[in-house]
Chain A
């Protein structure tokens, strides 16, 4: 069974840092691009970042560019999101998602999502 399991969320003060992890199983992790999508309380979905299967290509939303870093360890089947200089508006549930097509990062749907991890930025 294909599964994604996020961890690492929690309460952090404004200006602080947090690293999210997403453990993948049930598919050839290194063959698929991965993404992070967030959802603020009571709000809609917002795409955050994406990374190619090899890790050689990365994309970021303007709202997090320069503060967040996406990475992956294919030997551990794990996706990461390093979040620095956190702001109150970064408060959200963060989902990791797998793209639907092998060896593709652009113009593709997200077919598998994790259950999400909550990040709260507050003093």
Chain B
């Protein structure tokens, strides 16, 4: 089955740029979606199809995807961005399923 690998944690100071990676075999050929989850809350879609933003998501959130790595970039990080972030893809190679990465805890210092 397809595996997505994320760093367990990323730390960044307010106002700086956070980059959260999601590694997978030839992930650049897939559409990657990103979710933000704050403690005790449901996940929220922040980037879909590699780099598109749902309405209401700040432009500070952006995404890219190439080769074996997809990246969620959060510019001008704010304290309110502290959360867990998960990447997701559709795996058509094995019995059709969605796959989530293990999640990355973003800490705003």
Inside 8 A of A35's CB, which chain B residues have their CB? 98
- Considering only CB atoms and an 8 Å cut-off, how many residues of chain B contact the other chain? 28
Closest chain B CB from A60 CB (angstroms):
8
Interface string of B78-109 (1 = CB under 8 A from A): 00000010101010100111111111000000
Closest chain B CB from A62 CB (angstroms):
8
Inside 8 A of A100's CB, which chain B residues have their CB? 45, 48, 54
Contact with A47, one of B92, B97, B102 (Cβ below 8 angstroms): B97
- Considering only CB atoms and an 8 Å cut-off, how many residues of chain A contact the other chain? 22
Whether B100 pairs with A113 at a CB distance below 8 angstroms is no
Whether A107 pairs with B43 at a CB distance below 8 angstroms is no
Whether B42 pairs with A109 at a CB distance below 8 angstroms is no
Bound-complex Cα distance A120 to B33 (A): 29
Whether A47 pairs with B98 at a CB distance below 8 angstroms is yes
Closest chain A CB from B3 CB (angstroms):
13
Bound-complex Cα distance A46 to B49 (A): 19
With A45-B43, A100-B45, A115-B42 known as contacts, the answer to whether A108 contacts B90 (CB < 8 A) is yes
